[in-house]
Amino acid sequence: MPLFHLPAGTLSLVRSWLAVCLFPWFTLGAPTENGGTAASASTKVGKWQVAAEKGEPWACFNLGLSYHLGKDTPVNPAEAIKWYRFASERGYAPAQANLGYCYDTGFGVPVDHYKAAEWYQSAALQGNAYAQYNLGKKYHAGPGIALDPKLAEKWLKQAAEQNFIPAIFSLGQIYAEEISTTPDFKKALHSFRMAAEQGYAAAQHAIGYMHFAGKGVQTNYFEAVKWYKLAASRNFADSHYNLSICYERGLGVPQNLTAAVNHYRTAAELGHRFAQYSLGVCYYEGKGVEVDLIHAYKWWNLAAVQGVPEAASSKRILSRLLTESQVKEGQQRANEFVDAFVVRASTPSDSLKLIQVASAEGGGEIKKAGTGVMISSDGYLLTTLQTVLGGKNVQVVTEGGTFSAALVKTDQLNDIALFRISGVFQPLPLFSSRDVPVATEVLALGFDAENQGQFTPKAAHGKISSLLGFQADPRQFSLEPRVTSSFGGAALVNNRGQLVGMVLTEPGEHASTEARPNTNTSYALKSDHLMRFLRTVPEVKAIVESTKTAPELSASDVLSRARAATALVLVL
């Protein structure tokens, strides 16, 4: 039996291409067997049902959560999965995180760890801390996917940066791991303290263990007991067990067998298998409690079922000393314990996390929609300033999901707005517009003006008809045929998959009647002016390519590259 039983894993932790098309707007519904809705529209669930049937992802998520947890409606795994999936396919990160959890745990679907990781990643790329944590845990300990310590640390760090306490603690676990890596106990202790200061029992226990075992600090039993008591006050079973050993041996506290038995009992009742074995020993030997062989049999029986070999052998020996009726009574007491057993301990520190809080109702009315283009892998994107004028908030929808966008900088003269979203993306490289001749064939991906949040880009093929733009502006290209104004902010892409310009919002929407543009022509700001603007923001690491290093691509590859960098811009 190990001297100290840390929380499981404390030191040994263990898009596919989619065709470019416009999907029809469809109505979601959850008919009952009688063909009606799941709940009255006057109830909370009923209101979510109505909103879900209008295609609101937050409402779909909330319905799925209700059916998952049995809140305000009976538990229904099939309905939970249905609504989670609807919201997930519309890029809603909380639903993607919980759908991944369902695949990981087999709730409503067969266990599929690969699909779980896919859904976690979709949500993690949108900055969802639950998904980042779960994905980090899978990369570190599995099961079902190849372990990758670097990716594990990366995702856990991203969740920890959002003050997601289980992730902060898990980083400490990684730093303290001794089996397959060189431990960094200083960093581990720092992470544990950050989590412990916020009342995280597992971290408090880990600090206690480090002081007891002298891991990264000098051995200090008094300090160890202090931290164990903090965690034990939160019903952390491992801390009760370790306190028992301290009291039994007089380490950091005066020896007190009665106190040791009390902590063994608390831990045993919380399901701690080694505490159950030790409590059985106390009853057998009369240490801190009167001898009671039937109680000893009960606790050894429970520990043996949980795989403690010493308990199994002790139970066999004891059964020879007891009468048949005493064995039956011991077995009956064990059965009664199992029947009444309710885990009162804190959630295991290394368990997967399910989002259990309903989402806020909606994100504001969408005033208008436009297009943007990712120009760096760390989330910088460009659109036109005209696209976002008049809005209070901006959301960005990509293949990877929906993100809140932060304005970084604008250029009113050139109609440029630079935003940043959280995640990792596939940007388009920039190519100097000086080397783009007339008649160059180009592609733009954009969205309908009335788009309400679906990532359904349309492709527009055309050519550069002039090196001068609106009213012979040398900063612009003229494009034919004309594209809709909601393409404003779209990348103008050549046959090498490079960005050579950005489609502008139609000047005609903001110009006098005499100054309106040719109705058969659209205009794009040349990439050289975009690059000049980006140089004023040093943190943006856009990629600039030349024709010598960029071969021509097939039409499908150009389309694929453009799609990966295209963003729907929603102005709220």
pLDDT confidence band for 37 (50 / 70 / 90): very low
> What's the whole-number average pLDDT of the chain?
84
Q: Reduced to 3 states, what is the DSSP secondary structure of residue 564?
A: helix
Whether 7 contacts 240, CB under 8 Å: no
Average pLDDT over residues 473-488: 89
- Write the pLDDT tens digit of every residue in 408-426: 999 989 999 999 988 778 8
| Spatial separation of the C-alpha atoms in residues 386 and 214, rounded to whole Å | 62
- Write the pLDDT tens digit of every residue in 444-456: 999 887 766 677 8
| Spatial separation of the C-alpha atoms in residues 344 and 336, rounded to whole Å | 17
Q: Which residue(s) pair with 446 in the sheet? A: 458
pLDDT confidence band for 142 (50 / 70 / 90): confident
**Res 163: pLDDT:** 82
Dig out the tokens for 546 from the structure: 């030349």
Q: Reduced to 3 states, what is the DSSP secondary structure of residue 76?
A: coil
Average pLDDT over residues 276-292: 95
Provide φ and ψ at 368, rounded to 5°: -165, 165
| Spatial separation of the C-alpha atoms in residues 77 and 64, rounded to whole Å | 9
**Res 180: pLDDT:** 58
pLDDT of 48 above 60: yes
Average pLDDT over residues 268-290: 94
**Res 239: pLDDT:** 95
- Write the pLDDT tens digit of every residue in 537-549: 989 988 887 766 6
Dig out the tokens for 379 from the structure: 């989330």
Q: Which residue(s) pair with 402 in the sheet? A: 397
pLDDT of 231 above 80: yes
Residue 284 or 405, more confident:
284
**Res 507: pLDDT:** 56
**Res 8: pLDDT:** 36
Whether 447 contacts 406, CB under 8 Å: no
**Res 418: pLDDT:** 94
Global confidence as pTM: 0.60
pLDDT of 2 above 60: no
Q: At what angle do helices 201-213 and 237-249 cross, to 10 degrees?
A: 30
**Chain centroid to CA 349:** 17
User: Which amino acid is present at 297?
Assistant: Y
Average pLDDT over residues 490-514: 76
Average pLDDT over residues 127-134: 91
**Res 551: pLDDT:** 83
- Write the pLDDT tens digit of every residue in 158-178: 988 888 889 999 999 999 987
Give me the domains of the chain, ranges plus CATH numbers.
368-571 (2.40.10.120)
Average pLDDT over residues 252-262: 95
**Res 181: pLDDT:** 67
Whether 133 contacts 170, CB under 8 Å: yes
pLDDT of 343 above 80: no
What Cα–Cα distance (Å) separates residue 475 from each residue in 276, 413, 423, 433, 434? 78, 11, 32, 10, 11
Kindly report the length of the chain. 572
pLDDT of 550 above 90: no
Average pLDDT over residues 488-512: 80
Which residues have C-beta within 8 Å of that of residue 340, sequence separation ≥ 6? none
What Cα–Cα distance (Å) separates residue 466 from each residue in 396, 482, 502? 32, 13, 15
DSSP tag of 359: P
pLDDT of 36 above 50: no
pLDDT of 31 above 60: no
**Res 389: pLDDT:** 85
**Res 346: pLDDT:** 46
Segment among 67-81, 278-292, 336-350 with least mean pLDDT: 336-350
DSSP for 85-99, please give it: HHHHHTT-HHHHHHH
**Res 226: pLDDT:** 95
| Spatial separation of the C-alpha atoms in residues 127 and 372, rounded to whole Å | 19
User: Which amino acid is present at 152?
Assistant: A
Instruction: Give the closest residue to 396 by CA, choosing from 430, 369, 376.
Output: 369
| Spatial separation of the C-alpha atoms in residues 550 and 390, rounded to whole Å | 39
Please state, as a whole number, how many other Cβ atoms lie within 10 Å of the Cβ of residue 75: 14
Average pLDDT over residues 13-40: 32
Instruction: Give the closest residue to 437 by CA, choosing from 477, 493, 481, 480.
Output: 477
Dig out the tokens for 132 from the structure: 């980042």
pLDDT confidence band for 393 (50 / 70 / 90): confident
Q: Which long-range contacts (CB under 8 A, 24 or more apart) does 100-107 make?
A: 100/131, 100/134, 101/134, 101/352, 101/353, 101/354, 102/68, 102/77, 104/134, 104/138, 104/144, 104/352, 105/352, 107/68, 107/77, 107/80, 107/81
pLDDT of 18 above 50: no
